Structure 1
Amino acid sequence: MNIQNITVKNILTKSSLPIGDYSVNPYVGCTHACKYCYASFMKRFTRHPEPWGTFLDVKYWQEIRNPEKYAGKHLFIGSVTDPYNPQEEVYQRTRELLIQLQGSGAAITIATKSDLVLRDLDLIRTFPRARVSWSINTLDETFQKDMDQAVSIPRRLKAMKTFFEAGIRTTCFISPIFPGITDIPAIVRKTRDQCNLIWLENLNLRGSYKQNILTYIAENYPELIPLYHEIYQLGSRRYWEMLDAEMQEFANEQGLPYLRNDDTIQRPFDAPPALVNYFYHEQIKQSAKKKERTCPNSRK
């Protein structure tokens, strides 16, 4: 493992994500080494020749000045790294970030696959609109271990329950959804009593990891080869359209709201969790950018 310290000018970056004004990443790289990680594109901006998951840059920045200027802004912590990767236990850069932002009035969402976040529960609960999400795209421990080196699914579920019972908003992030493998209803039933939101996001395959995943499917799920060929080589969206309809029906049966690209953070804490479909957020973002180009005053 190649770990090095780096100095950065700014730790907060304006974001185009549908759920945040700023993205915040205390590390470059991620040692959970998820085989499907979209964030592996970050290698283009580093000098690391090593495979994704085998290096970590630990960020150091000047103390955030006037943190209150972020009051009312939504900060998404962990858009291209896991802020609670195992090395956080030593370097504590995420904890330092939270300490610097404490009392700022910023809303924070933390995305992780770890239960190390439990260490900072008392700190996180001081933020008025805090939320922690755990990525859980399977209940099959064998598949999970094939895909990432993060903590087990039971440990993630236990951490989620602890935060929820402490009155901190939690999200079950069912992502990425592997066609024909991820059992969404089973995960929803397992987590619905310990989370406020359930996000659904499709598996996107691009770059260097596309062939790796397709090879894995061919070797371990050969019966799914035609489906993956249709989606990832022919570019069909038929599967996601069908799944969208199925999830709408399932949510209705379960008495859960079903929304598309709607964060719904203001819903009552004790309300049943909403299923939020982010299958199409890339298309929506592209459409919005096109609209801005044709109607430059549309956002004024």
Structure 2
Amino acid sequence: MQIKEIYCKSILSRSKIYGADYSINPYFGCLHGCTYCYARYMLRKLPSNLMWGEFVHAKINAPTVLLKELRRSKRGRVLLSSVTDPYQLVEAKYMLTRRILTILSSKDYPLIILTKSDLVIRDLDLIKKFSDADVGLTVITLDENVRRAFEPKAPSIYRRIAAMQKLKEAKICTYAFLGPLIPIISEFSIEKLLTKLSKINVDYVIVDKLNVKAGNKPHIMRAFMLYYPDIKGKIEKILSNENVYDEYYADLKVKIRNLAQKLDLDLEFCY
């Protein structure tokens, strides 16, 4: 595992993600090592011996750079983060996300946080200072076996659910990110998961489709071969044909939308 300190020239990036004007990524790389992660495409910029999930570079001057960039940037909604997890394990040491939140809260920038870590609860004192802040946890399943197969080094589902409950208790706008949906696998517990989110009373749910065009497909298929060999053939058939995949996902969306309506959940799809 490689943990490295680096200096960045810029930290506030224009975002193409719906609902966010800017994104801030305090770290380059992510130690969660999720097999499906679309950010693997960033490996193209790095030496070939680096493996996704085995390195993270901390942008130790990010708060200083942010202060300078905010002075010359138009006000807008900021997403923490788009191609890393702002609360991965090294954040406990470097506290870059916390320092960034301190800056943003002093100017009351509209904020979106997305993470897989309950470390976000550490910063409740700062998040409460924002007049407009949405905090989300990624949960694609309630099954820890699925989590271990596809999110091997991410915090447990239990810890993420508990974090959402604490956010709700603190009266923070809380959302769940069901992304990406893993074909067939996500169907196994989707009703239980949505029911659980309904009981927590999350403010809304966002659902995202699995992207297999970012160099991640071999890793996804390897996970199926190791953990779910009996359905590997079905998955290969779905993911290898764009029309088949689109048809499968369209049917799954109908099922999920109907479940959400039944549970009175505010739910939207990215795609």
Q: TM-score, normalised by structure 2?
A: 0.90
Name the residue aligned to 2:261: 252
Is contact 2:79–2:113 with CA below 8 Å preserved after alignment?
A: yes
Name the residue aligned to 2:171: 167
The CA RMSD measured in Å over matched residues stands at: 1.9
**Ranges in structure 1 where 5+ consecutive residues have no aligned partner:** 257-273, 281-300
Code of the residue aligned with 2:170 in structure 1: it is: A
Name the residue aligned to 1:155: 159
More moved, 85-94 vs 69-78: 69-78
Q: Deviations over 1:49-70 (max 9, x none)?
A: 3101111111023341374776
Where does 1:125-204 land on structure 2 (aligned, <5 Å)?
125-148=128-151, 149-182=153-186, 183-194=189-200, 195-204=202-211
Separation in 2, partners of 1:56, 1:204: 22
User: Percent identity at matched positions?
Assistant: 34
Separation in 1, partners of 2:104, 2:157: 30
Name the residue aligned to 1:234: 241
More moved, 206-215 vs 194-203: 206-215
Q: CA deviation at 1:135?
A: 0.7
Separation in 2, partners of 1:98, 1:57: 19
**Ranges in structure 2 where 5+ consecutive residues have no aligned partner:** none
Larger helix percent: 2
Code of the residue aligned with 2:208 in structure 1: it is: E
Where does 1:1-300 land on structure 2 (aligned, <5 Å)?
1-47=1-47, 49-59=49-59, 60-61=61-62, 62-63=64-65, 64-65=67-68, 67=70, 73-148=76-151, 149-182=153-186, 183-194=189-200, 195-235=202-242, 236=244, 237-256=246-265, 274-278=266-270, 280=271
Separation in 1, partners of 2:196, 2:74: 35
The structure-2 alpha-carbon separation of the partners of 1:249 and 1:207, relative to structure 1 and needing over 3 Å to count, comes to closer
* Greater relative contact order structure (CA < 8 Å, 6+ sep): 2
Is contact 1:23–1:76 with CA below 8 Å preserved after alignment?
A: yes
Separation in 2, partners of 1:119, 1:13: 25
Code of the residue aligned with 1:253 in structure 2: it is: K
Q: Deviations over 1:71-90 (max 9, x none)?
A: 75111111100000111000
Code of the residue aligned with 1:192 in structure 2: it is: S
Separation in 2, partners of 1:113, 1:56: 16
The structure-2 alpha-carbon separation of the partners of 1:164 and 1:215, relative to structure 1 and needing over 3 Å to count, comes to same
Is contact 1:137–1:176 with CA below 8 Å preserved after alignment?
A: yes
